[in-house]
Structures are given as C-alpha cells and as structure tokens.
Amino acid sequence: MNINENNTVAEIVVKNIKAAHIFKKYGIDFCCGGGITVEKACEKNQANYNNIKAEIEALDSTTEKRYNYDKWELNFLIDHIINIHHTYVQENIPLLLQYANKVAKVHGHHYSELLEINTLVNNVVKELSAHLKKEELILFPYIKKLVSALKDGTEIERPHFGTLENPIKMMHEEHDYAGNVFKRIALLTNNYSTPDGACNTFRALYSKLEEFEQDLHQHIHLENNILFPKAITLKKQISNAI
C-alpha cells in the first residue's frame, strides 16, 4: 500500500485494518481522530512520518516464510519459538487488552458478546503469560541440557519435576485451554466478522484477535507436534545410552 502526505489516518486503516496496530503503537488515534492526514497526525504525536510510512507500506510485502521445522536442531527450534512466538505474545498482549477493554466498554451495551470476549481475553493472556515463563525458565532449559548431554555423552540430573512427561503434559493442557478459548472467541465473533458500520477500533480488535489466534496455532504446533515428541525421544536415547 502506497501512502502520501494527503492520505488520512482513517483512509489508511480502511484500506488495511492492520495499519491500525501501527498507528496504535505510535499513539495515533485512528478511530475518532482519524480524519487528519498521516503527516499531521505524526506531527501532533511527535512521531516520525517516514518510519510509519515505511511500516505501513511493508504490510503488503510481508510474506509467510515456510521452513522445514522438523529438520531443525532442538536448541535452534527452542530459540525460534522464544524469539518469534513468545515475543509476539508478549508484545501484543498490551494492545489486545486495550482493544478488548475499550470495545467492550463502548459497544458492550449493544453487542453483549463483547463483554464475554473481553473476559476471555483477560483470562487467556494471564494464563499465557504464566505459561511462557514456565517454558522459558523450566522446560526449555532442561531440553537444552538433554541436547548437551547427548552430544557430550554425559549423564543428566533428575529434574525436580520428575519425568519429562510431567511438564509436557501440563503444557499440553494449557495449550488446549488457550485453543479452546480462541475457538469460543471465533464463534462469538462469527470468525472475526465485524458488524456493518463498526468503528475502526472494533475492527482492529477482531483483526488482532484473528492474527493472535493464527500465531498461537503455529506456536502450539511447533511445540506439541515437533519439540515435545522429539524431546521425549531424546530423553529415551540418553537413558538407553547410560
């Protein structure tokens, strides 16, 4: 999407709702105050117009890269999960909460499903925040120790959580919870379809929820279907080698 100094904030968001997330990041009002040009909005909020212009124009060029994750070493896969998916969750939680709370407050009297969506969002982000910490502080470091133990031919101490299957079982249960929450949100939003005449913040909420769910699906896939099974196999290899 090419933009110029005459385009208004609202025009840009109408063309690509994901631009709303960029404006939000820089504190630019794309909803009620979206009638001014992007250039003037940048001046008003002391934001760099060229930076925002470049980020918005890059939206159309963003393509999904496909990798053969099954071929990756576990250490590399863990780092990818943390750097890409954990970072995405942590960076987008504040924005998601802002959207959900604001839209529920403004439109919840007319669209009652927004009240439930707001509750679901607040609950699931709390669970996800704790979930990521457990993975980063406990499970992932242990899997990395397994990788090192196999390479070095050394033994590994029994972890405080017992067998590797214990934390993995917990992670599966928490993944199921988050997945079910977003299934419910997708149902409540009619697969993220906003009603006619919905304001830009309303539309931005649904867009961000859909994006968040898509990232979550990829995130869970990498862990449930690749990382965890391979970690269990790795642990068995080490046990058999001792």
For the chain, the structural domain boundaries read 9-57, 69-241
d(C-alpha 38, C-alpha 69), whole Å: 40
37 DSSP β-pair partners:
8
Instruction: Say yes or no to pLDDT of 50 above 90.
Output: yes
- Helix %, strand %, coil % for the chain, to 5? 70, 0, 30
Is 211 or 15 the better-scoring residue by pLDDT? 211
Lowest mean pLDDT among 40-44, 97-101, 238-242: 238-242
Percent of the chain clearing pLDDT 70 (strictly above): 95
Instruction: Say yes or no to pLDDT of 101 above 80.
Output: yes
Is residue 97 packed enough to be buried (19+ CB in 10 Å), middle (13-18) or exposed (0-12)?
middle
Closest CA to 198 of 69, 73, 67, 14: 14
Instruction: Say yes or no to pLDDT of 181 above 90.
Output: yes
Instruction: Say yes or no to pLDDT of 208 above 80.
Output: yes
The two three-digit tokens of residue 14, written as one number = 């109408």
d(C-alpha 238, C-alpha 156), whole Å: 9
Q: What is the mean pLDDT of residues 76-102?
A: 97
8 DSSP β-pair partners:
37
pLDDT digits (tens, 9 = 90+) for 58-80: 886 654 456 788 899 999 999 99
Is 160 or 166 the better-scoring residue by pLDDT? 166
Instruction: Say yes or no to pLDDT of 230 above 90.
Output: yes
Interacting residues of 73 by C-beta distance below 8 A, sequence separation 6+: 147
Mean residue pLDDT of the chain comes to 90
Whole-number pLDDT of residue 156 = 78
Closest CA to 148 of 88, 235, 216, 226: 235
Lowest mean pLDDT among 153-157, 205-209, 228-232: 153-157
d(C-alpha 199, C-alpha 176), whole Å: 32
Percent of the chain clearing pLDDT 90 (strictly above): 69
Whole-number pLDDT of residue 240 = 67
Lowest mean pLDDT among 75-84, 103-112, 158-167: 158-167
Q: What is the mean pLDDT of residues 203-220?
A: 94
Whole-number pLDDT of residue 197 = 87
Instruction: Say yes or no to pLDDT of 34 above 80.
Output: no
89: left (phi over 0), alpha (psi -120 to 50) or beta: alpha
Q: Cβ distance 20 to 79 under 8 Å?
A: no
